[in-house]
Amino acid sequence: MSTTGLEVFDRTLHSTHIWLDEIMQEIGPDRTLAWKVLSTVLQTLRDRLPLELAAHLGAQLPLLVRGAYYAGFDPTKMPTDWHTAEEFRQYVAARLKDARPVGASDAIDAVFRVLDRHLSAGQVDKVYRALPKSIRGLWPLFAGWEG
């Protein structure tokens, strides 16, 4: 039986809950924090990607998550000009400072692992290859891989 009366809404709610549950397994049982982590890391990743690839990534996200991904979207500022893993971490940390303490590295790991599990391998590979080499090192699936 439909919860919302629309299958598309039921599917996106179900998918979003799965993603949040997986993030909570890594950062602790706080759904609000999991949503903040998911939104923050996805937006940080989006802002570092070339515009066309950012749009392709957004198209693969569950509808509800896609809304968070595009919140505050300004294509005139893409991609950002920072190139290091530390800059990526600092940006995430700054955006999470108003939430319950969670390490930026833990947040990034949790979201990248969700992307690895739920997006096509081809899309993950394209996103990975578009990132500067230093930032690539943050992606757990590819840790230590130079491909």
17-33 pLDDT, tens digit each: 999 999 999 999 999 99
What global pTM score does this model have?
Answer: 0.91
46: which residues sit within 8 A by CB, 6+ positions away?
54, 57, 58, 69, 70, 73, 78
CA distance 48 to 127: 10
CATH number, domain containing residue 46: 1.10.490.110
Q: Is residue 17 situated within a structural domain?
A: yes
Q: How confident is the model at residue 99 (pLDDT cuts 50, 70, 90)?
A: confident
Q: How confident is the model at residue 147 (pLDDT cuts 50, 70, 90)?
A: very low
pLDDT at 146 over 60: no
pLDDT at 145: 46
Mean pLDDT of 32-46: 97
pLDDT at 104: 95
Query: Which H or E run includes 77?
Result: none
Mean pLDDT of 82-95: 94
Q: Is residue 2 situated within a structural domain?
A: no
Mean pLDDT of 35-56: 97
Q: Is residue 146 situated within a structural domain?
A: no
122: which residues sit within 8 A by CB, 6+ positions away?
none
- Where in the sequence is the domain holding 82, given as residue range(s)? 7-141
Instruction: Give the count of domains, the chain.
Output: 1
Q: Is residue 1 situated within a structural domain?
A: no
